[in-house]
Amino acid sequence: MVVALGGVAQTAPADPDPSFRDLAREQLPRLLSIARRLVGDDAEDAVQDCLLKAFQKFHQLHTPASASAWLTKILVNCCRDRGRANARQPTQIDFDAAEEFSLYRKIASEDPYPYSDSLHLDFLAEFGAEDVRAVLLRLPEIYRIPLVLVYMDGFLARELAEMIDIPLGTVLARLHRGRKLFETQMWEYAEEAGMFRGGRQ
């Protein structure tokens, strides 16, 4: 089943006083999609945690129109808790090298598709949604969360700052470093997956 997502649904339900079940059911596909990108195979458990916590705190939801952001905030915290509990070892990353890395220049210099006249677009075209998810899961959580919520789910940086209780400047710094790390990991992932020349292994 393909579920169309994207953007932050903020449309107020027709029912002025909808039940928790109605509000949460409407958000379920979006919550599961976010969780899959934040915690991979633990997504179902993270959403279960989120539903239980949200149900207990339902009286704290001020208006049905803010249910989307409210549930996302609870979900992100559940994902962070799960990430801490599992304490996965992220891929070893050289932060200094990442800061200087340019995927655009790397593709141009390595020329992974010698007969292509649209090298950069060909590289990006290799990345389906599952590949993007796999690359995201290589990043440390503090960089993965801003990338997912801002560039994939349409939250503003200031909304994210409020959601996870950190200063806006910290969010912007994490977005900057997260983008650089994402680019380095895209290249490494492409090499490991055999995306170049002979196609995928």
Which stretch of DSSP H or E encloses residue 93? Answer: none
Site residues, another protein (CB under 8 A)? 1-6, 19-21, 24-25, 28-29, 32-33, 36-37, 43-44, 47-48, 51-52, 55, 102-105, 120-121, 124, 127-130, 132-133, 147, 151-154, 157, 172, 175-176, 179, 183
Task: State in angstroms the smallest separation of the CB of 165 from another protein.
Answer: 20
Rounded CA separation 168/157 (Å): 7
Angle between helices 103-110 and 168-192 (to 10 degrees): 20
Q: Which is nearer to another protein, 103 or 163 (CB)?
A: 103
Q: Which is nearer to another protein, 5 or 142 (CB)?
A: 5
DSSP 11: P
Task: State in angstroms the smallest separation of the CB of 169 from another protein.
Answer: 11
Q: Which is nearer to another protein, 92 or 109 (CB)?
A: 109
Q: Which is nearer to another protein, 95 or 104 (CB)?
A: 104
Rounded CA separation 95/53 (Å): 36
Angle between helices 129-136 and 20-39 (to 10 degrees): 70
Task: State in angstroms the smallest separation of the CB of 116 from another protein.
Answer: 14
Rounded CA separation 184/178 (Å): 10
